[in-house]
């Protein structure tokens, strides 16, 4: 199984990106996690640039190709002003008309302690885009960024196993 992991944060010290990095390292056998790191390279979405007869910007083509080659997506996003981070929303806008996204399974991860508005908004956006959201609960971790180390993401074996259950169900193991 191939997972494309997208962090909604552009920060170098993002706890959401660190959670995705931990997921990549701790993924079960047979699950390959690719972390998408070019969110900042995507141009602002403009429907005029997304017509069928127009060439797409290279970063957009790359994102769409990666989504198409993935069996599922994992999105980790914090909240900005009670909403989805702008760079992540921009990426999703570029995927709306893409045939590679509809029906794609998506799991949400939240490493921010108070990000419930963004998560609700993200669920609404993804449902509108015809994503197949993984059943709740998607993992939500309350992490203090100043103390967070991706290798120590799960403090107990039980928490670690709980975080892997959705991956196992998706991969059939």
Assess if residue 142 is contained within a domain. yes
Strand order across the 2-7 sheet? 32-36, 2-7, 72-76, 105-109, 132-133
Assess if residue 173 is contained within a domain. no
Domain count, the chain: 1
Assess if residue 136 is contained within a domain. yes
The DSSP secondary structure of 94-119, one letter per residue, reads HHHT-TTTTT-EEEEEB-STT-HHHH
pLDDT score of 155: 46
The enclosing domain of 29 has a CATH number of 3.40.50.360
For the whole model, what pTM was predicted? 0.79
Residue 129 belongs to domain spanning:
2-168
pLDDT score of 25: 93
pLDDT score of 139: 53
**pLDDT in 10s for each residue of the chain, 173 residues:** 999 999 999 988 888 999 999 999 999 999 999 999 999 999 999 999 898 888 999 999 999 999 999 999 999 988 888 889 999 999 999 999 899 999 999 999 888 767 778 888 999 999 999 999 987 645 555 544 444 444 444 444 455 555 555 555 555 54
């Amino acid at each position: 199984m191939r997972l494309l992991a997208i962090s909604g944060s552009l920060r170098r010290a993002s706890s959401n990106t660190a959670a995705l990095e931990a997921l990549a390292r701790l993924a079960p056998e047979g699950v390959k996690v690719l972390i998408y790191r070019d969110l900042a390279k995507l141009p602002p979405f403009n429907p005029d640039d997304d017509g069928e007869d127009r060439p797409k910007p290279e970063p957009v083509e790359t994102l769409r190709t990666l989504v198409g080659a993935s069996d599922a997506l994992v999105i980790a996003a914090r909240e900005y002003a009670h909403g989805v981070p702008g760079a992540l929303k921009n990426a999703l806008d570029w995927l709306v008309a893409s045939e590679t996204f509809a029906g794609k399974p998506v799991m949400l991860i939240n490493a921010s302690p108070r990000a419930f508005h963004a998560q609700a908004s993200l669920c609404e956006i993804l449902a509108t885009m015809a994503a197949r959201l993984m059943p709740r609960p998607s993992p939500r971790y309350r992490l203090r960024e100043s103390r967070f180390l991706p290798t120590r993401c799960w403090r107990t074996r039980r928490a670690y196993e709980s975080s892997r259950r959705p991956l196992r169900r998706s991969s059939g193991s």
